[in-house]
Amino acid sequence: MKVPWREQEWQRVAVYGLGASGLAATRLLRSRGVEVVGVDMREGHELDLGDLEKDPGFDALLGGDPQELLERIDGVVISPGVSPRRPLIVAAREAGLPVVAEVELAYLFADGPLIGITGSNGKSTTTLMTGELLKAAGFAVEICGNIGVPLSARVDGEAGRVFVTELSSFQLEAVDTFRPQAAAMLNLSADHLDRHRDHESYFAAKRNLFDNQQSTDVAVLNADDEQVAAVAVPARRRFFSRRRQVDDGCYLDGEIVVEVDPETGRHPLFSRGDVPVPGPHNLENAMAAALLSRAAGADPEVFPSALAKFQGLPHRLQRVADQRGVVWYDDSKATNFAATLRSLEGFADGSVHLIVGGRNKGGDPAVLTDVVRRKVCRLYLVGEAAVEIGAALAGVVGAEMAGTLETAVEAAARRAGQGEVVLLSPSCASFDQYQSFAERGDHFQILVRGLDG
């Protein structure tokens, strides 16, 4: 298989990380006749290799970081969960071997337009919204990437499909030739500082999304986010804004989102009321999705009805129950402080009982201070970061050290009154007490539904 990084033939490749992305990349390479050595720090009993266990063209080196492997491979494909600072990755780069992300490998085989979506928050919602708008406009669509289905698992198939791809900083930090025809950066806030060295390194990974775009491509940027609005890109820049008029893109004019095009003028796209999922951030997500869909050639006439049908994501401001006038929301997918800030803005002042905490990814909980003072009537602190968050917000509102979701739900059920909201929006990763944000959210929903109505 010819690869562009060194214009060489790949015959034997290491795939580092055998989760969903790594396994999808392995199967893609094997379908092209490339031998694969799978590398993972986990042991065999922790992995499910499926059909690959019987594939003579696949070997697995597990439980270590085998640098001696470098003499017998042509390149390395890394999964998003693998840090580029792993010794094997560092040694491969020093040896001059190509080291590429799974999404970069898959991009080579995507026989159709590719839309890339990144940002600190809102990626999954915007990805799904964009996919739904394009489907409503008659396009064949694949929704993939960080949202749960690797791009490598979707590239084989009918030509001409639009690949709407959610992209994390982990995926983007190792891309080289990746070029989306339309790409969006939704917002930027401190996140994943436990992986990236600092905020600038995190931002640099995000900016990689635009590096290979050309003047015929489109970059969609948030005009209300100062850092994002200032991003210099080679593509046409189109902006979205809730707060001000833009010269090229779309903005909120009263209750109507209006598109402005320097060549075709000004025309409506949809109304604020067409977006059924709550919160001003979801209006922004819809604006970005509309601009991305327009870049692919979608007719905006279908946008209002398509958005009205959008149900949102599980565990992202998902309404769970209304019990005795108290509404419970599962926002377990909010794994950084900026996500919780955006969620809180959609609720009435002083109405929220907020369950927060988990494993901090390096953010500063003090950024919650102002919005918590306005929106929250009581805090319930859980997980590893409970003490840290409690200290940062001491004296802002009443708080209690709940420790676990069970205790937090019971306490909130006792205290919350009619017209108030109980919101699980942890601001943190789940890995201190759960395997994933989804498992955490599912547990929360079980606990809520188990309360006496």
Residues forming the active site: 123, 146, 192
**Which one-letter DSSP state was computed for residue 436?**
S
Q: How far apart are CA 191 and CA 201, in angstroms?
A: 11
- Residues with Cβ within 8 Å of 182's Cβ and at least 6 positions away in sequence, in order, are 113, 115, 116, 217, 218, 219, 220, 292, 295, 296
**For 156-244, where are the alpha helices, taking DSSP H only?**
169-172, 199-207, 226-229
Contact 443, 424 (CB under 8 A): no
Bridge partner list, 328:
321, 422
Backbone angles phi, psi at 19, to 5 degrees: -85, -160
Q: 362-373 as b/e, with b when 16 or more CB fall inside 10 Å? A: ebebebbeebbe
- Residues with Cβ within 8 Å of 53's Cβ and at least 6 positions away in sequence, in order, are none
Q: How far apart are CA 224 and CA 62, in angstroms?
A: 46
Q: Say which amino acid occupies 215.
A: S
| Backbone CA torsion sign across 332, 336, 341, 342 | negative
